[in-house]
Amino acid sequence: MYRSWLIVFGTTLLLWTIVGQLNHYLAPCGAFLSVGGLLVTFAALHLNLRNGLTATILIALAVDAIEPVPQFDRHLFYGPHVLLFTIAHVIVFHLRTRFPGDETLFGVVTALLANLGLFLGLSFIYIEIGGHPAAGAAWLRLFADLGWSQLFILCVAPWFLALQQQALMLGRVNLAEESPRFF
């Protein structure tokens, strides 16, 4: 069913917009929330591979459209979010059969672990490969941002996962038919 990726993309875009506004208000404090793991989790846990990847890639493209582009040795690196979100989605998708994916606690833990991996991957791309002049100081600030981001995900993930599930129910998408297939 093609409505599933559109509904998941819409609700994920809503969360990303809310987090963008929060980051705008947190900027004077020098804080930043990163919720990439939460943006990937529901699609990877509940949708088939084609629909889930479609939703994940579209949200990653939206994030990449706003984020600054890192430059490596006079070459621009476009699409780091698309690359890392796709990798995270595929990993979670292939591991989901080994765990109770319908439980909220598992969704929250998955979002936290995926966010940790995405945060470290993006930080490595922007700081180490990008040649940040004060990499040591930047890593300390980033670990503080990671802590706040993980705490935020811990608080918001149950609500957001339930929102996506309810949105799919309102859109008359049957998750039981959506989940087991690969394509």
3-state secondary structure of 76: strand
Q: Tell me, what's the pLDDT at 101?
A: 65
What is the pTM assigned to this prediction? Answer: 0.87
Rg of the chain over CA atoms, in angstroms? Answer: 16
Give the span between the Cα atoms of 42 and 40, in whole angstroms. 6
Domain ranges of the chain: 3-178
64 token code pair:
């990449």
Model confidence pLDDT, tens digit, residues 148-162: 999 999 999 999 999
Q: Report pLDDT for 133.
A: 60
pLDDT digits (tens, 9 = 90+) for 88-114: 999 999 998 887 767 889 999 999 999
- Write down the pLDDT at residue 70: 61
Left if phi > 0, otherwise alpha if psi is -120 to 50, otherwise beta: which for 133?
alpha
Whole-number Å distance between alpha carbons of 104 and 145: 24
